Copies of this chain bind each other. A is one copy, B any other.
Amino acid sequence: MHQETHVTSSNIVRDIIIGMSDGLTVPFALTAGLSGVLDTNHLIIVSGLSEIAAGCISMGLGGFLAGQTEIEHYDAELKREYDEIEKVPDIERKEVEEIFMSMGVDAALSRQVTAQISQDKDKWVDFMMRFELGLDKPDKNRAYQSAITIALAYMAGGVIPLAPYLIFTDNQLGFYWSCIITILALVVFGYFKSRVTAQPLLKGTLKVAFTGILAAAAAYTIAKLIS
């Protein structure tokens, strides 16, 4: 039997990936950078936790507001399309016909299909939204859920690089262990991300690990240079 196996990872998994990508990378890079110039772990922990708080809110609330805006934008365009098919139905019908002709349908048949679609106003507007404007209906509840998921994933990612500085009092030791467990976490995360998004496993894993390591190296270098 023929089976369609296109990959569609769920929204919640996508949000976890978004939050954890940055959560594992930025606090790791920042604390690594500071460990090279600060003598006490205490300030590294303060910086790390401040960054996690800031990052959580910026990504979570930012994502929430972006989601809200998307809903408002969709609703505004929806209203506009209903207005247009009311006021200038012939122009809107012409637009539908042109979309079909661009798909390789001849003029006569395009007109017939358009006539059928435009009989039901809801389906007609739905067609314009998806095929003229390329807008999918956003889920009203997703903005909240998405914001919380991203923020929690950022937090979960962020505490991993921070933990060794809490355990070890020596900042060099904290730095080494932070590198070890974070790179390990990046590899595990990269592996699962690659599986979920159906990427080649080795390449996908290396991409994630490389991003985190490069960010940390840059932060470390900059901190060393200016201190």
Contacts and interface: CB of A to CB of B under 8 A. Distances in A.
Interface of A: 2, 6-7, 21-22, 25-26, 29-30, 33-34, 37-38, 42-43, 45-47, 49-51, 53-59, 61-62, 65, 69, 72-73, 76-77, 80, 84, 88, 91, 100, 103-106, 109, 112-113, 116-117, 119-120, 123-124, 126-127, 130-131, 133-134, 136, 197-199, 204, 207, 211-212, 214-216, 218-223, 226-227
A58 B131 contact: no
19 contacts: A21-B62, A25-B57, A26-B51, A29-B53, A29-B54, A30-B30, A30-B54, A33-B54, A34-B47, A49-B222, A49-B223, A50-B223, A65-B207, A69-B197, A103-B127, A104-B124, A105-B116, A109-B112, A130-B131
Contact of A53 (B51, B56, B130, B215): B215
A46 B220 CA distance: 10
A42 B91 CA distance: 63
A47 B47 contact: yes
A54 B197 contact: no
Given A50-B30, A50-B34, A226-B45, A215 B57 contact: yes
Q: Which of A34, A47, A133, A198 neighbours the largest number of chain B CB atoms within 10 Å of its CB?
A: A47
Interface SS of A by simple majority? helix
Contacts of A37: 43, 46
A126 B117 CA distance: 21
Q: Which of A84, A123, A130, A219 neighbours the largest number of chain B CB atoms within 10 Å of its CB?
A: A219
A92 to B, nearest CB: 9
Nearest to A220: B50
A42 B226 CA distance: 9
B6 A80 contact: yes
A123 B100 CA distance: 11
Contact of A222 (B34, B50, B216): B50
Q: Which of A80, A103, A212 neighbours the largest number of chain B CB atoms within 10 Å of its CB?
A: A103
Contacts of A130: 131
